[in-house]
Amino acid sequence: MEFTAEDVAEWMIKEVRFAGILYQADAVAHIKTSFGESFIYINENGNPSISKEVKKIFKKLHKGRVAWDRDGFFWGWT
């Protein structure tokens, strides 16, 4: 099956909704193994990150109901 950025973003929304929180490291690991490496890139700090396209769709889907915690590197349901 071929996955899309929308599939990944929808998974992220479900995870945050279900658990209340989604750590970036956990999301990256799950996305890499379940959806494929094409949705992950290495950011300017040398860390694996979720593609900008996925994050753009994720932001559209959550409509401001999810906040990024910069210190804890996680998203939380607000």
Per-residue pLDDT tens listing for the chain (78 residues)? 899 999 999 999 999 999 999 999 999 999 999 999 999 999 999 999 999 999 999 999 999 999 999 999 999 998
Q: Give 5-77's CATH code, choosing from 2.70.98, 3.40.50, 1.10.3470, 1.10.10.
A: 1.10.10
**Contact in structure between 54 and 74 (CB atoms under 8 Å):** no
| Domain range list for the chain | 5-77
DSSP 8-state symbol, 20:
S
How far is it, in rounded angstroms, from Cα 78 to Cα 23?
15
75 contacts 69 by C-beta, under 8 angstroms: yes
Do 13 and 64 form a contact (C-beta atoms < 8 A)?
no
The model scores a pTM over 0.85: yes
